[in-house]
C-alpha cells in the first residue's frame, strides 16, 4: 500500500517536473518497484513448485539409497525376484509391479476405447443440447473422490463379477474389479483431452473431406482422428500415468498381500496399495520396511516420469501443424 | 349437482384436516418425552457406580470431575476398543480433559512409549519384549505393567465352509504355512482347493502372538505362504474370509463377536473360545492385555494415575461387552496392588 503510494507520488513529481520546464517527455526506462515485486513473486511461485519437485526427488533418492545400500538388498534381485515380504527380507518388486501393470492395463482397456468413443461423439456428432448434458455429467464423474470409487469396486463391481463368473473363479479382492472401476475413474480424463485434440482440428479439413464425398463417419475416423493423433496419444499416456499412480481404489479392492499372478480375478497388491497398507500400520523409522517404501515410491516416480517424457516426445513427433 | 359435489369435497377436506390435526397432537408427546429422559439419566449414573464391586484390594476413590490434564496413550488395536470404552466412561463421569488413544499396534505403541517417550500409557496385547524394555530404560523409563483382561484369538472361516469346525494346533500351523497350498495338503479329506489366508499385519500384536503360539516363532512360514492377505484393518479380514468357503483368518475375539452372524469360529483341539476356557487357559490362543506406564509418570501426572485407577476399578464391568474376557478377582487385585506399589501407598 505504502509502496503504491510512493510510486504514485514519484509519477506525480515526475509530471510536475515535466510541465514547467516544457522539455521533451522523458522516455527513459523508469523504475517501477510494484512491477518488479510482482515479477519476483511470480518467479518465487515457479521456483517453489520446482523446488518441491526437486526436494521430493532428493528425499526419495536418499531414503532409497539407504534401502539399496542395505546388505540384505541387491538391485538385481529387487528387479527380478517374485516375492515381496520385507519383514523376512524378501525384496522382489515384481509381484507389486505386476499388479500395478495389470490394474493399469485393465483400466486402459476400459478407458481408452470408451473415452475415445465419447470424445468422437462429443466433437463430431453431438448436438449442442447433448453436449450440454454429457460434458457436465462426465465432469461429475471426474469429481467423485477415489475412495468412493474404491468402495464402489468392492461392494458393487466385485459382487457383480462374482455373480457373472462364479464365486469360485473371482476372489473377494481382485485386480479386475479394481481395474474396471479405475477405468471409469480415468474415463473423463481421456475424454476431455481427446476431445480437445479433436476439436482443435481445423474445420477446413472436415469441409474438404465432405467436399470429396466422404461420409461423416469416414471424415471422423479417416481425417479428423489421424490429424488429432498426437493429442490423443498424449491423453493415453497421461491416463496411464494416472492409473499407475492411483492409490485408493487398489488399496481397497485389489488385495492386501503381494502376489505374483497374471490372473485378474485373484487378489494382488499394487505398489501404491502396498505403500498405503504398510504405512497405515506402524513402522519404525529406522527399519528396512520403512526404507523399502521409498524404493517403491522412487520406482513409481521413475515410471510416471518416463511416461511423461514419452508423451512429450510423442506429441512433438506426431504433431501435425495446420496453418 | 356440481355444488353438491363441491360441498362433499369440502367436507372431505375438512375431515382430512381434522384427522391430520388429531394425528399431530399425539406426536407432540413423544418428542417431549425423550428430551426429558436423558437429562435425568447422567445424574443418576454416578451414584450407581461409586461403589466398586471388589472385595480384595481397594484403590482410593477417584472423582473424574476433579481430574485435570490430558492423557496420551497409544498401542495395541486389540486394547483400543476397551480403552476407548473406559475413557468414554471416565468422561461421562465428569473428566473434562483429553484422552488420546491411538491404535497403532503393540510394537508401535512401545516405539512411542520407549523410544520417543511421547506417550503416558502404552496399550499392549503381549508382555513387553526385552529390547523394548532396554529402550525404555535407555530413556529412564521403568515400565510398570497392569494386567487388565484376557483376549482370545478367534480362528474363523466363512459361514459357507462345510468341512471345518475344529482344528488341532498342528493342522492350524500347517494351514498357515508355506508347506500347504491346497486344503487337501493338510488333510486329504478336505477339498482340493487353494487355502485363502487372511492375517493381521506384521506390526500387530495379534500377528506376533499367533506366530509365537502357532508357528513356533517362525514368521517365515506364514509370510512365505501363497494367497496370503495381511491387513491392519480387521474389516478387510472379515470381508475377505466371509467371501469364500476356502478362506480362513484369525483376529481378536471381539471382532468375531461383532461379526458372529457372518463368520464361524473354529474350536482348537476341541476347545471353543469361551469365558471359562480362555480364563482357565485351556483355550490355546488366549493372551493377556496390558497397560504400561511408569511410576514416575503416575506421580508427575496425577490424571494418568487416576485414569488407571478408574480403569482397574471398573474394567470388569465393561470388558465383556467389548468382547474380551474378564480377569479373575485375584489377577485384578494383583494389578491394583501394582498401582498402589507404584504410587508408594
Structure confidence at residue B90 (pLDDT):
93
**Looking at residue B34, what is its pLDDT?**
39
Q: What is the pLDDT of residue B2?
A: 54
CA B345 – CA A256 distance, rounded (Å): 50
Direct distance between the N- and C-terminal alpha carbons of chain A, in angstroms, rounded to an integer: 47
Torsion angle of alpha carbons A224, A229, A234, A236, nearest 10°?
Answer: 90
Interchain CB distance below 8 Å, A281 and B201: yes
- CA-based nearest residue in chain B for residue A285: B111
Q: Provide the sign of the torsion angle of the four alpha carbons B121, B125, B128, B130, taken in this order.
A: negative
Backbone angles phi, psi at B134, to 5 degrees: -65, -40
Per the CB < 8 A criterion, the answer to whether B254 and B154 are in contact is no
Residue found under cell 473406559? B86
Query: Looking at per-residue confidence, does B43 or B279 come out higher?
Result: B279
- Determine whether the interchain pair A277/B201 forms a contact, defined as Cβ–Cβ distance below 8 Å: yes
| pLDDT for the residue numbered B204 | 79
Using a CB-CB distance cutoff of 8 angstroms, which residues of chain A are in contact with residue B228? 257, 259
- A282–B203 CB contact, under 8 Å: yes
Mean pLDDT, rounded, for B68-97 = 90
Look up residue B261 and give its three cell numbers.
452372524
d(CA B184, CA A238) in angstroms, rounded, equals: 47
From A167, which residue of chain B is nearest by alpha-carbon distance?
A: B244
Task: Report residue A205 as a C-alpha cell.
Answer: 479439413
Residue B37: band (very low, low, confident or very high) from pLDDT cuts 50, 70, 90: very low
The reported pLDDT for the residue numbered B6 is: 59
Q: Which of B111, B219, B247 comes nearest A284 by C-beta?
A: B111
Burial of A38 (0-12, 13-18, 19+ CB in 10 A): exposed
Residues of A with CB under 8 A from a CB of B: 83, 85, 87-88, 90, 154, 167-168, 171-173, 255-257, 259, 266-267, 277-278, 280-284
B262-302 residue pLDDT tens: 999 999 999 998 877 887 778 999 888 999 999 999 999 99
pLDDT at A118: 94
Q: Report pLDDT digits (tens) over B170-219.
A: 999 999 998 899 999 999 999 999 999 999 988 777 888 899 889 988 88
Smallest Cβ–Cβ distance between A88 and the set B223, B230, B232 belongs to B223
Q: What ipTM goes with this model?
A: 0.75
pLDDT < 70 positions in chain A: 1-23, 281-285, 322-323
Q: How is residue B180 written as a grid cell? A: 500347504
Query: What is the reported pLDDT for B167?
Result: 93
Q: Which pLDDT score is estimated for B125?
A: 85
**B169 sits in which H/E element:** helix B169-175
What pLDDT, on the 0 to 100 scale, is given for residue B3? 58
d(CA A141, CA A135): 10
What local confidence, expressed as pLDDT, does residue A6 receive? 45
The residues with which B228 forms a beta bridge, in sequence order, are B197
3-state secondary structure labels for all residues of A38-69: HHHHHHHHHHHHHHHHHHHHHHHHHHHHHHHC
Mean pLDDT rounded to a whole number for chain B: 82
Contact B251, B227 (CB under 8 A): no
User: Are residues A305 and A139 in contact, defined by beta-carbon separation less than 8 angstroms?
Assistant: no
In terms of residues, how long is chain A?
323
Q: Are A283 and B203 an interchain contact pair (Cβ–Cβ within 8 Å)?
A: yes
Q: What are phi and psi of B166, to 5 degrees?
A: -145, 140
The shares of helix, strand and coil residues in chain A, as percent rounded to the nearest 5, are: 75, 0, 25
Q: What's residue B35's pLDDT?
A: 39
What 8-state DSSP symbol labels residue A220? I
The verdict on a CB contact (< 8 Å) between A88 and B224 is yes
Q: Which residue has the cell 488420546?
A: B100
Q: How many CB atoms lie within 10 A of CB A155?
A: 13
Instruction: Spell B30-54 as b/e; 16+ CB within 10 A means b.
Output: eeeeeeeeeeeeeeeeeeeeeebeb
- Confidence band of B336 (pLDDT split at 50, 70, 90): very high
Q: Does the beta-carbon distance from A281 to B196 stay under 8 Å?
A: no
* Three cell numbers, residue B295: 511410576
DSSP string computed for B180-207: -SBHHHH-TTS-SSB-EEEEE-TTSHHH
A118-142 tens-digit pLDDT: 999 999 999 999 999 998 888 888 8
Task: Inspect the interface and report whether the beta carbons of A87 and B105 lie closer than 8 Å.
Answer: no
Please say whether the beta carbons of A173 and A256 come within 8 A.
Answer: yes
- Burial environment of residue A154 by CB neighbours within 10 A (0 to 12, 13 to 18, 19 or more): buried
Nearest in space to B129 (alpha carbons), one of B147, B106, B146: B106
Mutate which of A89, A282, A284 to test chain B, going by most B C-beta atoms within 10 A?
A: A282
B219–A88 CB contact, under 8 Å: yes
Collect all residues from B whose CB is shorter than 8 A from any CB in A.
104-105, 107-108, 111, 193, 196, 201-204, 219-220, 223-224, 226-233, 236, 239-240, 242-244, 247
Is pLDDT at B49 greater than 50 in this prediction?
Answer: no
Residue of chain B whose Cα is closest to the Cα of A253? B236
Q: What's residue B267's pLDDT?
A: 93
Amino acid at each position: 500500500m505504502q509502496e503504491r503510494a510512493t510510486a504514485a507520488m514519484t509519477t506525480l513529481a515526475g509530471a510536475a517536473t515535466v510541465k514547467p520546464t516544457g522539455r521533451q517527455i522523458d522516455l527513459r526506462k523508469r523504475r517501477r518497484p510494484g512491477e518488479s515485486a510482482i515479477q519476483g513473486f511470480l518467479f518465487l511461485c515457479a521456483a517453489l513448485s520446482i523446488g518441491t519437485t526437486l526436494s521430493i526427488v532428493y528425499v526419495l533418492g536418499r531414503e532409497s539409497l539407504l534401502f539399496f545400500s542395505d546388505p540384505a538388498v541387491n538391485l538385481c534381485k529387487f528387479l527380478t525376484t517374485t516375492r515381496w515380504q520385507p519383514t523376512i527380507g524378501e525384496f522382489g518388486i515384481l509381484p507389486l509391479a505386476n499388479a500395478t501393470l495389470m490394474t493399469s492395463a485393465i483400466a486402459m482397456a476400459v478407458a481408452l476405447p470408451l473415452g475415445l468413443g465419447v470424445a468422437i461423439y462429443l466433437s463430431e456428432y453431438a448436438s449442442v443440447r447433448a453436449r450440454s448434458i454429457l460434458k457436465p455429467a462426465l465432469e461429475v464423474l471426474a469429481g467423485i473422490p477415489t475412495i468412493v470409487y474404491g468402495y464402489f469396486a468392492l461392494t458393487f463391481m466385485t459382487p457383480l463379477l462374482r455373480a457373472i463368473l462364479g464365486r469360485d473363479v473371482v476372489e473377494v479382492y481382485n485386480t479386475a474389479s479394481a481395474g474396471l472401476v479405475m477405468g471409469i475413474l480415468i474415463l473423463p480424463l481421456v475424454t476431455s483431452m481427446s476431445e480437445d485434440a479433436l476439436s482443435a482440428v481445423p474445420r477446413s479439413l472436415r469441409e474438404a473431406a465432405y467436399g470429396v464425398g466422404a461420409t461423416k463417419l469416414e471424415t471422423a475416423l479417416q481425417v479428423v482422428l489421424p490429424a488429432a493423433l498426437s493429442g490423443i496419444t498424449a491423453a493415453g499416456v497421461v491416463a496411464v500415468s494416472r492409473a499407475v499412480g492411483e492409490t485408493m481404489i487398489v488399496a481397497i479392492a485389489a488385495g492386501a498381500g503381494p502376489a505374483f499372478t497374471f490372473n485378474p480375478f485373484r487378489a494382488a497388491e499394487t505398489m501404491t496399495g502396498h505403500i498405503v497398507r504398510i504405512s497405515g500400520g506402524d513402522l519404525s523409522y529406522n527399519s528396512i520396511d520403512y526404507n523399502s517404501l521409498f524404493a517403491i515410491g522412487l520406482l513409481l516416480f521413475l515410471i510416471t516420469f518416463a511416461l511423461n517424457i514419452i508423451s512429450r516426445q510423442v506429441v512433438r513427433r506426431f504433431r501435425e501443424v495446420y496453418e | 349437482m356440481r355444488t353438491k359435489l363441491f360441498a362433499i369435497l369440502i367436507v372431505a377436506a375438512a375431515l382430512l384436516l381434522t384427522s391430520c390435526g388429531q394425528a399431530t397432537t399425539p406426536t407432540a408427546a413423544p418428542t417431549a418425552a425423550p428430551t426429558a429422559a436423558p437429562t435425568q439419566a447422567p445424574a443418576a449414573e454416578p451414584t450407581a457406580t461409586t461403589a466398586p464391586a471388589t472385595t480384595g484390594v481397594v484403590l482410593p476413590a477417584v472423582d473424574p470431575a476433579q481430574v485435570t490434564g490430558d492423557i496420551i496413550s497409544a498401542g495395541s488395536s486389540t486394547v483400543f476398543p476397551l480403552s476407548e470404552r473406559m475413557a468414554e466412561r471416565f468422561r461421562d463421569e465428569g473428566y473434562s480433559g483429553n484422552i488420546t488413544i491411538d491404535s497403532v499396534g503393540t510394537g508401535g505403541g512401545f516405539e512411542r512409549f520407549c523410544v520417543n517417550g511421547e506417550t503416558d500409557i502404552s496399550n499392549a496385547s503381549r508382555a513387553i519384549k526385552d529390547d523394548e524394555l532396554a529402550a525404555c530404560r535407555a530413556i529412564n523409563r521403568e515400565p510398570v505393567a497392569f494386567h487388565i483382561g484376557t483376549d482370545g484369538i478367534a480362528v474363523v472361516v466363512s459361514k459357507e465352509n462345510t468341512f471345518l469346525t475344529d482344528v488341532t494346533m498342528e493342522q492350524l500351523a500347517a494351514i498357515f504355512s508355506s508347506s500347504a497350498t491346497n486344503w487337501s495338503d493338510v488333510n486329504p479329506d478336505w477339498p482340493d482347493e487353494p487355502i485363502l489366508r487372511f492375517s493381521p499385519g506384521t506390526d500387530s500384536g495379534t500377528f506376533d502372538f499367533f506366530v509365537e503360539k502357532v508357528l513356533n516363532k517362525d514368521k517365515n512360514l506364514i509370510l512365505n505362504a501363497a494367497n496370503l492377505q495381511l491387513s491392519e484393518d480387521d474389516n478387510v479380514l472379515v470381508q475377505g474370509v466371509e467371501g469364500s468357503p476356502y478362506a480362513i483368518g484369525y483376529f481378536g475375539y471381539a471382532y468375531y463377536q461383532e461379526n458372529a452372524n457372518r463368520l464361524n469360529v473354529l474350536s482348537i483341539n476341541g476347545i471353543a473360545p469361551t469365558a471359562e476356557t480362555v480364563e482357565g487357559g485351556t483355550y490355546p490362543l488366549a493372551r493377556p492385555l496390558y497397560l504400561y506406564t511408569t511410576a514416575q509418570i503416575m506421580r508427575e501426572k496425577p490424571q494418568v494415575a487416576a485414569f488407571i485407577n478408574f480403569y482397574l476399578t471398573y474394567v470388569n464391568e465393561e470388558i465383556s461387552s467389548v468382547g474380551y474376557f474378564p480377569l479373575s478377582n485375584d489377577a485384578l487385585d494383583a494389578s491394583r496392588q501394582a498401582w498402589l506399589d507404584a504410587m508408594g501407598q
